[in-house]
Amino acid sequence: MATVKFTNVQKIYEKGHTPAVADFNLEIADKEFIVLVGPSGCGKSTTLRMLAGLEDISGGTIEIDGEVVNDLQPRDRNIAMVFQNYALYPHLTVFENMAFSLRLKKMKQDEVYRRVTEAAEVLGITEYLTRKPRALSGGQRQRVAIGRAMVRDSKVFLMDEPLSNLDAKLRNQMRAEIILLRQKIDSTFVYVTHDQTEAMTLGDRIVIMKDGFIQQVGTPDEVFDYPANLFVAEFIGAPKMNIVRTQLIEENGKFYVTPFGSRMEVDGVNGQLLKERGITSRDVILGVRPEHISIVEAGAENTIDSTILVNEMMGSELHLHVSTSTGEKLIVRTPTVNLSHEERNKMHTGFPLHITFPGKVMYFFDPETEENLLY
Ligand code: ADP
């Protein structure tokens, strides 16, 4: 059992400078997998390091299982941490690397053996126990680093960008392994990454940070469908959400948007919500995800005329970078399943594309505050 609670936690590295972490509040449930995500420098690692006890806390409290740990040494916090660079001892075997912290605690030999071999079994590295780290691949080293944390029976598992040194294929594989591992370890996890895909696939809940401030906390579905502000909207989802400043027009209880000289109705839940919130005609920042743009026949009403700049063939889908007749850039994502080889090949640079935004799936942000108007 391990809950974690941050209350008004703050970190100021240098007096007079803006805080690296400002007023961080979060309650993490027992066995929850929390991902801290955001661009480089937003304060993720600092938050994790304060929880681990590797960094002093400038203000507020951190509790583990109801106990304030602000002044506890890292070793007394019952926490295990896996770092980006693995920090394995090169002169020790895999077994001894995993056993290291247990030896320091003067644990009995048979108990050390039991813990190390059990963890190695779970991680599938039993056959490498007698090797030195240099004789392992990046993925195997990664597993040793995780194993070293596992043997300690820690209450909370901390991981700081554990996959960022791996190549793309291995990263995907290890991501899946972490999901499986998590089911076996049955512990509370706090995981730091700058990669939104990792955050979306691993987290029970995601904490999105920017400039030391939490922007939003929610499940992957929540932050994707209901981003609190423009920053979250653009950060979550790949390729990134398309953004355009435009006018929202209310006429006889119906709503329209007018990007790039077009006029498209906002219907469905969005239309309903705009009405319920009492929103009338105004300037907005309109957001539309690449997968929500439809390609339509030439001559259809209220479409946007565009030209393909770049066609990225991703296998199951195309990412079409297009330029509108008014010179704005958009990204359109379309599945390849219904396109023949010939149809796909026509879509090269300069090919005209008529597109429209379905009114059900649009996002509206205040141009001043950048808050989601329907959040
Ligand atoms: P992230 O993990 O999101 O990349 P960090 O937590 O490492 O961000 O850093 C947050 C901010 O704190 C950054 O502006 C960074 O430059 C600053 N910072 C990090 N470590 C130190 C340090 N030891 N001394 C001074 N400033 C630091």
Q: Is 193 in the pocket of ligand 1 (CB under 6 A)?
A: no
In this structure, how many other beta carbons lie within 10 angstroms of the beta carbon of residue 243?
17
CA of 231 to the centre of ligand 1 (A): 20
Q: Is 51 in the pocket of ligand 1 (CB under 6 A)?
A: no
Residues whose CB is less than 8 angstroms from the CB of residue 3 and which lie 6 or more positions away in sequence, other chains included: 27, 28, 29, 30, 63, 64, 65, 66, 188
Q: How confident is the model at residue 176 (pLDDT cuts 50, 70, 90)?
A: confident
How does strand 79-82 pair with strand 156-160? parallel
Q: Is 58 in the pocket of ligand 1 (CB under 6 A)?
A: no
Proportion of the chain in helix, strand, coil states, percent, rounded to 5? 30, 30, 40
Joined tokens for residue 102: 């247990």
Residue-wise pLDDT for 200-225, tens only, equals 999 999 999 999 999 999 999 999 99
Residue-wise pLDDT for 280-308, tens only, equals 999 999 999 999 999 998 877 778 999 99
Q: How far apart are CA 183 and CA 198, in angstroms?
A: 17
Model-wide pTM > 0.75:
yes
Q: Name which residue sits closest to atom 17 of ligand 1, judged by CA.
A: 20
Per-residue pLDDT at 11: 98
Q: Is 41 in the pocket of ligand 1 (CB under 6 A)?
A: yes
Q: Name which residue sits closest to atom 13 of ligand 1, judged by CA.
A: 41
Number of helices followed by number of strands (H, E) in the chain: 10, 20
Say whether pLDDT at 186 is over 80. Answer: no
Per-residue pLDDT at 177: 81
Higher pLDDT, 352 or 84: 352
CA of 20 to the centre of ligand 1 (A): 6
Burial category of 34 from C-beta neighbours within 10 Å (exposed 0-12, middle 13-18, buried 19 and up): buried
Q: How confident is the model at residue 75 (pLDDT cuts 50, 70, 90)?
A: confident
Counting ligand 1 atoms within 8 A of each CB, the residue from 46, 51, 190, 215 with the most, and so the one to mutate, is 46
Q: Is 17 in the pocket of ligand 1 (CB under 6 A)?
A: no
Q: Name which residue sits closest to atom 20 of ligand 1, judged by CA.
A: 46
Per-residue pLDDT at 308: 97
Residue-wise pLDDT for 245-274, tens only, equals 999 999 998 999 999 988 999 988 999 999
Per-residue pLDDT at 13: 96
Q: How far apart are CA 72 and CA 317, in angstroms?
A: 51
Q: How confident is the model at residue 132 (pLDDT cuts 50, 70, 90)?
A: very high
| Cβ atoms 364, 372 nearer than 8 A | yes
Say whether pLDDT at 185 is over 80. Answer: no
Per-residue pLDDT at 285: 98
Which ligand 1 atom sits nearest the alpha carbon of residue 160?
2
Per-residue pLDDT at 179: 87
Say whether pLDDT at 108 is over 90. Answer: yes
Calculate mean pLDDT across residues 127-148.
90
Q: Name which residue sits closest to atom 5 of ligand 1, judged by CA.
A: 43
Q: Is 18 in the pocket of ligand 1 (CB under 6 A)?
A: no
Per-residue pLDDT at 248: 97
Per-residue pLDDT at 188: 94
Q: Is 46 in the pocket of ligand 1 (CB under 6 A)?
A: yes
End-to-end CA distance of the chain: 34
